[in-house]
Amino acid sequence: MEGKIRVLVAKPGLDGHDRGAKIVARALRDAGMEVIYTGLHQTAEMIVQTAIQEDVKVVGLSLLSGAHMTLFTDVTRILKEKGMDDVLVLGGGIIPEDDIPKLRESGIKGIFGPGTPMDDIVSFIKENVEE
Amino acid sequence: MKDLGQRVLDGEQRAIAKMITLSENNSPEAAREMKVLHPASGRAQIIGITGVMGAGKSTLVSELAMEYRKMGKTVGIIAIDPTSPFTGGALLGDRIRMTKLTEDEGIFIRSMGTRGMLGGLTSAVYDVVEIMDAAGKDIIMVETVGVGQAEVDIIKIADTTVVVLVPGLGDSIQAIKAGIMEIADIYVVNKADRPGFDRIMAEIESLVDLTTEAGKRSIPIIPTVAKTGEGIAELRASVDEHLELLNGTNEFQANRRRRYEAELIEIIRKRLMNLIFDESIFKERIEGLIDQIEAKEKDPYSAAEEILSQVLK
Ligand SMILES: Nc1nc2c(ncn2[C@@H]2O[C@H](COP(=O)(O)OP(=O)(O)O)[C@@H](O)[C@H]2O)c(=O)[nH]1
Ligand SMILES: [Mg+2]
C-alpha cells in the first residue's frame, strides 16, 4: 500500500498574516507530503472538520498572538471528542516557555519556536506519524 | 463496529474520509469495500469544473455548492491539484476559497493530488466519486486544472463539464488548441468584472458559432463574477438544464456506460501495471531485459512480449 503523509496546515485565530504557515506548508510538500492548506482565520471547529474530511495524519497549527493556549487546546479537545486522537498535532509560533508543559499535556506533541529548521519539523513528523 | 462500507452508506464523515484514503492508496481493502458501495451508487449528479490555474474554479465551486444547498441538496467536492513529479508532494490549496462551506454538514470536501502515473489518479477519482455518490451526496463536483490527458480523462466522469475561462490571460486560444474546448458542455467566463471581458466573450461566441452543427444545441456561455456570486444562479440553471437535456436522450446512459468502460479499463490497467512493475520477480527480469535492449541483443518488442507472456500464463 503506497500511503502518503497527509498534513493539514492551519492558521487559527484572527491575527493577520500566514507567511510562516506557508513556508512550513511548502517545506512539507518538498519533503513529499500532501499538504492541505486552508488559509487564515480558521476556528477550531473548522480545523477539526477539515482534518476529518481530509483524513490527515498530522495537523500543524501556526499562531502569532498570545491567544494560542485556548485555540490550540480547543483543537486537541475537539479532535478527541470526534475520536481523532490518533492525529499528530504540532504547534508553531512564539510560545512562552511556561505554556509548553500545559500544551504538551493537552496533546500537542511537537512544539516549534521561530527559526526551527524545516528539516527538524519534517523528521519529527516522519518519526511520529503512526503507520 | 459496523463495516466501513456500511458506515459510508450511512453517510458517516469519518468513514467516507477513510474509504477515500484506502482507495487513493490502492489498498486491497478498498477493492473489497467498493463492491459493497457500487450497488448504491449512480444517483448523484456529477459536475466537472476545469480551467487554468487562477481562473476562479474553487471560488466558483464554493458558490455553486451554496446554490445547491439552498435547494436542499447535499454536495460532495473533489478538488484536484498537481503532485510535484520531483518530490511526490503536493500543496492542496483549494479549500482556501471554500471556507464558507467547512462547517456545513451537508457538504463533504476532499483535496487530492494527482500523484504518480502508476498510482493511477483517474481510477482513484472514479472511486471517490462513487464513494460520495454511495454516501448519498446529491451533487458531486470535480475541480481540476485542465492540463494533460489525465485531467481530460477525469472530466469524462462528469455528466456536465464546465470549462472556466477568464479575460486577460490570453489563454483562450491555447485552451482551444489543447483540445479542452471539445469537452465543454458549458462555458463560464469568470471574472466578468475584469478588463478584456467583452473581448473574450466575443471570442468564445464566435467559436461556438463556428463549431455548432446545424440543429444541434449550441454551448451556453455564462458570464460570472464568482467572487461576488454574480451569475451563479444562471450557471446552476444551465447545469441542470444540460442534465435534463441528457436525461431526455440516450446520451445520459451512453455517458455513464462510457464512464464504466473507462473505469473498468483503468482498474485492469492499474492491476496489470502493478503486477508487472511492483512484483520483485519482474523487477529483476525487466532490469535484465533493459540490459539486453541496450546491448542490441534484443529489441523492445520482443522484450515486452516475454514479460507479457509470463504475466498471462
Ligand atoms: N476579480 C475577480 N477575481 C476573482 C473572481 N473569482 C475568483 N477571483 C479570484 O481569483 C483568484 C483565484 O481564484 P481560485 O478560485 O483559487 O482559482 P482556481 O485556481 O481556478 O481554483 C482568487 O484570488 C479569487 O479571489 C471574479 O469573479 N473576479
Ligand atoms: Mg482551485
The pLDDT tens digits along chain B (313 residues) read: 679 999 999 999 999 999 999 999 888 899 899 999 999 999 999 999 988 888 999 999 999 999 999 999 999 999 998 888 889 899 999 999 999 999 899 999 999 998 865 445 567 888 999 999 999 999 999 998 766 666 667 677 899 999 898 987 665 565 555 566 678 899 999 999 999 899 889 988 888 888 888 888 889 999 999 999 999 999 999 999 999 998 888 888 888 888 888 888 888 887 887 777 766 677 788 889 999 999 999 999 999 998 888 877 7
Number of Cβ pairs closer than 8 Å across A and B?
A: 89
Residues of A in contact with B74 (CB under 8 A): none
Chain A residue whose CA is closest to B116: A2
Predicted local distance difference test score (pLDDT) of residue B186: 94
Residue B166 CA to ligand 1 centre (angstroms):
10
Predicted local distance difference test score (pLDDT) of residue B297: 94
Q: Is the distance from CB of B262 to CB of B153 less than 8 angstroms?
A: yes
The dihedral over CA atoms of B196, B197, B203, B205, expressed in degrees to the nearest 10, equals -170
Q: Where are the domains of chain B?
A: 4-249, 265-312
Q: Do B89 and A31 touch (CB under 8 A)?
A: yes
Of A36, A60, A35, A46, give the one whose Cα is nearest residue A112. Answer: A60
How many CB atoms are located within 10 Å of the residue B27 CB?
A: 16
Which DSSP category does A42 fall into?
Answer: B
- CATH class of the domain comprising B4-249: alpha beta
Comparing CB atoms, the residue among A32, A37, A53 nearest residue B17 is: A53
pLDDT digits (tens, 9 = 90+) for A39-66: 878 899 999 999 999 999 999 998 776 6
What 3-state class would DSSP assign to A111? strand
Q: Do A53 and B26 touch (CB under 8 A)?
A: no
Task: Record the cell numbers describing residue B61, joined without a space.
Answer: 465551486
pTM: 0.92
CATH pick for A6-35+42-128 out of 3.90.550.10, 3.40.50.280, 2.60.40.420, 3.10.310.10 = 3.40.50.280
Name the residue with the closest Cα to ligand 1, atom 26. B191
